[in-house]
Amino acid sequence: MITDDRYRTLLIDGKTYSGNSFRKPCGGLLSPDAQKAFAEFDLTLPKDILVDPQIFSVRTIDLRTRSERHYQRFYMNLDRHKFDMWLKSLVPEKVEKFCGKCRSVTQRPDGTFRLVCKGNGGAEEVFTADRIIGADGANSIVRKFLYPQKKIRRYTAIQQWFPEENAKPFYSCIFDPETSDCCSWSISKDNIFIFGGAFAPYKCRENFEAQKKRLENFGFVFGKPLKTEACMVLRPESPFDICTGRNGAFLIGEAAGLISPSSLEGISFAVNSARILSEVLNGNASDPNRAYSARIIPMRIKILSKVMKCPFMYDPFLRSLVMKSGIESIKVTK
């Protein structure tokens, strides 16, 4: 949070409780790293953000080898939109708020930024700022403005919601190299069964449907979806994919490319990078861009460690060895 009185801060965000508000498609699982990030703010989570059931393990399925293992997990199962709205409610009163979307970013010769925005009601507004922070996720308009040439690996994440009916709720992680070189997941939330996966953009919908078909042999019953949602998700391949911003513009969270390429866990990276940037901007660094970039180095190293973990999860041969070995798996008695 930027608390320094040197700044007048404007938050541009269109999320509301209304039915047609943008809702981030997400697994809504708060990892231990994210829980720690909130603990460091001395924050506690209101219970109406949690959903039923809470989970203790993940059923990992490799469709290629038809093998399965269970692994213990310590996630909290959340309603992602309620979680986002709770976070928004924590924004201090003195921060001005504009409910809408930023359409374009430009930088003037004097170094200030010009943001053309459209309010949720349709009216256009133009804002000028000395500094901007892109916290605008995988499809960041600020990142595109700052680094138009820079490519980062991206996937299309597709999720469908189904009535749970009589199935026993479970959390699963699915690997199916025939349809995706990333992973898929299923999770239950308040009697809704959610199935989603990350797919290379080309033929993503076909591959999603093909994977659903293949999962029917594993006892998955899908039926007619209540809702289908999709968005982009980034998957960095190296610490150099992380871009922290320049010339008075900063990137945090997934806009910076900060997301685990192994698990697609991104909430802890978003919270931690926001905290680091606020510390830099509230301090007296002569070059805040350089100071922020330096403070992000441990997160780059963490991304590197996740990149190195990827072959053991995503290379079909290594994954089958890991799953066969049973290392860290738990025995589940039904």
Residue 58 CB, nearest approach to ligand FAD (Å): 11
Closer residue to ligand FAD, CB minimum distance, 145 or 222? 145
Coil, helix or strand at residue 17:
coil
Which amino acid is residue 161, in one-letter code?
W
* Stretch 246-285: interaction string toward ligand FAD, x if CB under 6 A: -------xxx---x----xxxx--x---------------
Number of residues in contact with ligand FAD under rule CB under 6 A: 33
Contact (Cβ atoms closer than 8 angstroms) between residue 195 and residue 186: yes
Contacts of residues 237-242 at CB distance under 8 Å and 24 or more positions apart, as own/partner, are 237/152, 237/153, 237/261, 237/307, 238/303, 238/304, 238/307, 239/300, 239/301, 239/303, 239/304, 239/307, 241/152, 241/153, 241/303, 242/296, 242/299, 242/300, 242/303
Q: In sequence order, what are the residues at sequence separation of 6 or more whose Cβ sits closer than 8 angstroms to the Cβ of residue 201?
A: 154, 155, 156
Kindly give, in sequence order, each residue whose CB lies less than 8 Å from that of residue 42, ignoring residues fewer than 6 positions away.
none
Q: Does residue 56 contact residue 113 with C-beta atoms inside 8 Å?
A: no
- Is 27 exposed, middle or buried, given 0-12, 13-18 or 19+ CB atoms closer than 10 A? buried
Which of 31, 160, 207, 272 binds ligand FAD (CB under 6 A)? It is 31
* Nearest distance, CB of residue 285 and ligand FAD, angstroms: 22
Nearer to ligand FAD (CB atom), residue 226 or residue 327: 226
Distance (Å, whole) CA 151 – CA 311: 22
Mark 127-146 with x for binding to ligand FAD (rule: CB under 6 A) and - for no binding: --------xxx---x-----
HSE, CB side, 13 Å, CA atoms: give it for residue 282: 10
Binding track over 101-130 against ligand FAD, x by CB under 6 A: xx----------------------------
Q: Which stretch binds ligand FAD (CB under 6 A): 1-9, 28-36, 199-207, 309-317?
A: 28-36
Asked if 13 interacts with ligand FAD (CB under 6 A), we say yes
Site for ligand FAD in 58-97 (CB under 6 A): none
| Residue 29 in contact with ligand FAD, rule: CB under 6 A | yes
Q: Which stretch binds ligand FAD (CB under 6 A): 9-17, 146-154, 199-207, 309-317?
A: 9-17
CB of 2 to ligand FAD, least distance (A): 16
Closest alpha carbon to 178 in 62, 23, 79, 312:
62
200 in contact with ligand FAD (CB under 6 A): no
236 sits near ligand FAD (criterion: CB under 6 A) = no
The window from 6-14, 51-59, 220-228, 294-302 that contacts ligand FAD (CB under 6 A) reads 6-14
Nearest one of 42, 23, 28 to 75, comparing CA atoms: 28
**What phi and psi values does residue 254 have, to the nearest 5 degrees?**
-70, -25
Residue 82 or 101 having the CB closest to ligand FAD = 101
Q: CB nearer to ligand FAD: give 13 or 68.
A: 13
DSSP assignment of 56-114 equals: SEEEEEETTTTEEEEEE---EEB-HHHHHHHHHHTS-TTSEEE-EEEEEEEE-TTS-EE
Taking CB under 6 A as the rule, does residue 241 contact ligand FAD?
no
Q: Is 25 in the site for ligand FAD (CB under 6 A)?
A: yes
- Does 22 bind ligand FAD (CB under 6 A)? Our answer is yes
CB of 207 to ligand FAD, least distance (A): 15
Residue whose beta carbon is closest to ligand FAD = 266
Cα-trace Rg, the chain = 21
Residues that bind ligand FAD (CB under 6 A): 12-15, 22, 24-29, 31, 34, 101-102, 135-137, 141, 157, 159, 196, 231, 233, 253-255, 259, 264-267, 270
